[in-house]
A and B are shown apart, each in its own frame.
Chain A
Amino acid sequence: MTAKEIIEILDAEIICRDDLLDTELHTACGSDMMSDVLAFVKEQAVLLTGLVNPQVVRTAEMMDMHCIVFVRGKRPNIDMIHLAEDRDMIMLCTKLEMFTACGKLYEAGLRGGSGK
Chain B
Amino acid sequence: MESIKLHYDISATDFTRAGAASGDVKRVLKELGVAPATIRNVAVAMYEGEINMVIHAGGGEIDVEITEDAIQMILTDHGPGIENVELAMKEGYSTAPDNIRCLGFGAGMGLPNIKKYSDEFRIDTELGVGTTLTLKVYMS
Contact = CB atoms under 8 A, between A and B. Distances in A.
Interface string A45-64: 00001010111101101111
Interface in B74-133: 103-110, 112-113, 116-117
Binding site secondary structure of chain B: helix
Nearest to A58: B19
Interface residues of B, number: 27
Interface in B23-54: 23, 26, 36, 40, 43-44, 47-48, 51
B107 A33 contact: yes
Interface string A39-79: 10000000001010111101101111000000000000001
Contacts of B105: 33-35, 55
19 contacts: A33-B107, A34-B103, A35-B104, A35-B106, A35-B110, A36-B107, A38-B48, A39-B112, A54-B16, A55-B15, A55-B18, A58-B18, A59-B19, A61-B19, A61-B26, A61-B43, A62-B26, A63-B44, A116-B116
A97 interface: no
Contacts of A53: 15-16, 103-104
B23 A55 contact: no
Interface of B: 15-16, 18-20, 22-23, 26, 36, 40, 43-44, 47-48, 51, 103-110, 112-113, 116-117
A39 B19 contact: no
Interface of A: 32-36, 38-39, 49, 51, 53-56, 58-59, 61-64, 79, 87, 116
Nearest to A79: B16
A53 B100 CA distance: 12
A62 B43 contact: yes
